[in-house]
Amino acid sequence: MSARLSVLDVGHGNCSVFREDKHVGIIDAGRGPYASIFIESSGITEIDLIVISHADDDHLAGVIGLLSSEKIKVNKIRLNADAMKDTKIWRDVRELLQSQHNQGKISVELGIFQGKLHWSGNDVSLDVLAPSIYNTLSGVGGKDESGKAITSNSGSVVLRVSHKGGKSVLLASDMEDQTLQNILDSGQDINASVLVFPHHGGRPGSGSVEDFTDRLIAAVKPSIILFSNGREKHDNPRPEIVSRACAQGVSYIACTQLSKNCHISPLKQQPGSLLFSAGADEGKSCAGTIEVNLESGQCHGGQTEAHKAFVNVLSSPMCRSTVVATAAANEIH
């Protein structure tokens, strides 16, 4: 089976699972049980690597379920530790990892910074684009190269999952304008076929949303943008972000859950039309979990068709122009 990456519908939060042959990696674990359920129901019993981009609970909390599980073995975790976080949930993770480490169950690596990340597969590679070594050594609460304060979000890990054939997915976590500027200043290539848009399509720091969106899309040049959003939180993605993405010629846009901006009331889909979804039972899902073929850089074809059919019944879908165009292109092929 081809290498693939699944952007899970975990509600508001981020969790991406990528698989190459028998190897499994997870970037962030969302909140709630969904990462654990997805892994268990996919028949996965061993995870090679978990990366936690930063210590906010919508990226972190689900790792507690993965690490507590007696059905799943986690071999290694790499955390973007946050010394400023003395939240109880961060202490929960610390205690759990201490216990697992003492029992010899897991390899824990602290600190994560720009450069290649070790991955056991042959066709997929992982590149950390941010934070830089300079910023990692400074840490949250410190200053970046330009003298700006580093926050949990601006210091979060930006990671690209690439296939040797040339396609890639950029997982932007909660990066802010400052993070983007740091990456661009470092001269790194940030290009990717698929962009999982930062901060669930919410406000990217204090600057202009439109400017940030334009700059990010111009740098990444994605043909597909995905939003890992929750219907119940923050009304993401912001309409101005989707609008800018459409204007910049992105060919396909999809959200894991149904934004209230697209349809004011919840809307249930036909059973079986979604791959996996935290919100399906309550009519909160849109595309649900979105699977990307890493070799082709395309979303799962049947899923794209189901998404198009669903978007067509929504009252004001922000992504309509891209979804219809993609479906038409698929028909031509």
Which residues are at the interface with another protein (CB under 8 A)?
Answer: 31-34, 36-37, 57, 61-62, 64-65, 67-71, 87-89, 92, 95-96, 99, 278, 281-282
Output 56 or 127, the one with its CB closest to another protein: 56
Q: Which is nearer to another protein, 168 or 289 (CB)?
A: 289
CB of 205 closer than 8 Å to CB of 234? no
Q: CB neighbours (10 Å) of residue 70?
A: 5
- CB nearer to another protein: give 269 or 326: 269
Residue 74 CB, shortest distance to another protein, in Å, is 13
The distance of closest approach from Cβ of residue 207 to another protein in the complex, given in angstroms and rounded to an integer, is 28
Strands 46-47, 73-74: pairing is parallel
Residue closer to another protein by CB (options 65, 204) is 65
Shortest Cβ distance from residue 57 to another protein (Å)? 5
Q: Which two tokens stand for residue 73?
A: 């073995």
DSSP string covering 301-331, please? Answer: HHHHHHHHHHHTTSSS-TTHHHHHHHHHHHH
SS3 (DSSP) at 243:
helix
The DSSP code sequence of 88-113 is: HHHHHHHHHHHHHHHTT--EEEE---
One-character DSSP codes across 113-181 = -SEEE--S-SSEEEEEEES-HHHHHH-TTSB-TTSPBP-TTTTS-EEEEEETTS-EEEE-TT--HHHHH
- Rounded to a whole number of angstroms, the minimum distance from the CB of residue 92 to another protein is 5
In the complex with another protein, which residue's Cβ is closer, 60 or 126? 60
Compute the least distance from the CB of residue 213 to another protein, in Å.
30
What is the closest distance, in whole angstroms, from the C-beta atom of residue 289 to another protein in the complex? 13
